[in-house]
Amino acid sequence: MPYQPATPLLSLLRKLAALPAAGADESSPETPPAAPENPTTVGPAGIALIKRFEGCARLRVDGMIEAYPDPGTGAAPWTIGWGATGKDHVHGGRIGPATAWTQAQCDARLADDLSRYAADVVAAVGDAPTTPAQFDALVAFHYNTGAIGRATLTRKHREGDREGAAREFARWNRAGGKVLKGLVRRRAAAPPRRSSILASANNPG
């Protein structure tokens, strides 16, 4: 077939196909997706970890849950429910050997404490990239120690030293100056944090 010049309509269609989409700016690169925000609340895995090691022990025959002494000192600070210490939000005063709560009161205290400790962790880590697994582990650590604001592991996390932060967990294994097997197991029970730290070194956020 001999060559035939393009018709005006065909030429116009080709020109239209070559144009950028409406609203597109060829001189501007695509906007990269926004980095995911750091978590601010503890997730189900973190809550399960806390419940696993705190338990909700000392259930009496009348259905009430009573306080028990600190395993390191054999006395204060007295603990009740899911690891609650300090102020008795039910009866007033301090938690002590005579304190007893219902299961619902123990659960309510846990929810309040988790919200408070999560806010402490948010303030402590600042804008350092933190995965949900890391955040859960940090809240669980703070729930048990109250030390998120002064712990070396927090500083290492903020500096991006994920492996160094993971190693610091094992150092928190003492109560009353003694190494406790329960704390050794507890510090070793956060594999999600260890694995996620190593992964986030190459994929932060």
Q: Region 95-107: what's the mean pLDDT?
A: 97
What does pTM read for this prediction? Answer: 0.69
160-176 pLDDT tens trace: 998 888 888 777 655 55
Residues contacting residue 101 through CB under 8 Å, at least 6 positions apart: 64, 65, 80, 81, 90, 109
Q: Which amino acid is at 165?
A: A
At 110, the pLDDT band (50, 70, 90 cuts) reads: very high
**Which residues are catalytic, by number?**
54
CB 66 within 8 A of CB 74: no
The Cα–Cα gap between 158 and 185 comes to 25
Domain spanning 44-200, CATH class: mainly alpha
12-61 pLDDT tens trace: 445 545 555 454 455 555 665 555 688 999 999 889 989 988 888 899 99
